[in-house]
Structure 1
Amino acid sequence: MAGTALSGIIFDFIFWMFGFLRMGTTGLTAQAAGEKTKRNPFLF
């Protein structure tokens, strides 16, 4: 039972880590896209 709980904790950590990266880069991508330059907004 402890293994199931530990795997759930690890899964939640990884899931929220990717969510944090997605939310953290949204503003940068929006700013780059809003500049309307020929620069690729996905390259920082």
Structure 2
Amino acid sequence: MHETLEAIQMTSRKPVDGDLKVYLSISSLFLVMVLGKLPQIIA
């Protein structure tokens, strides 16, 4: 499992990879914020 993950990371070394990581981190952060405030919105 670990070797395949490293192989995938090595093959996915493209210029898009960096932007995709930034997009994923921002979207996950936004998702956490929305889920954190969801009880306040419902209440």
TM-score tier, shorter chain, comes to 0.5 to 0.7
The CA RMSD over aligned residues, in Å, is 1.0
Q: Percent identity?
A: 10
Q: What runs of 5+ residues in structure 2 fail to find an aligned partner?
A: 1-13
Q: After the TM superposition, which parts of structure 1 deviate over 3 Å for at least 4 consecutive aligned residues? A: none
List runs of 5+ in structure 1 lacking aligned partners.
Answer: 32-44
Relative contact order (C-alpha < 8 Å, sep 6+): which is higher? 1
Q: Which structure carries more helix by proportion?
A: 2
Number of residue pairs aligned between Structure 1 and Structure 2:
30
Aligned match of 1:25 = 37
Larger Rg: 1
TM-score of the pair, normalised by structure 1: 0.56
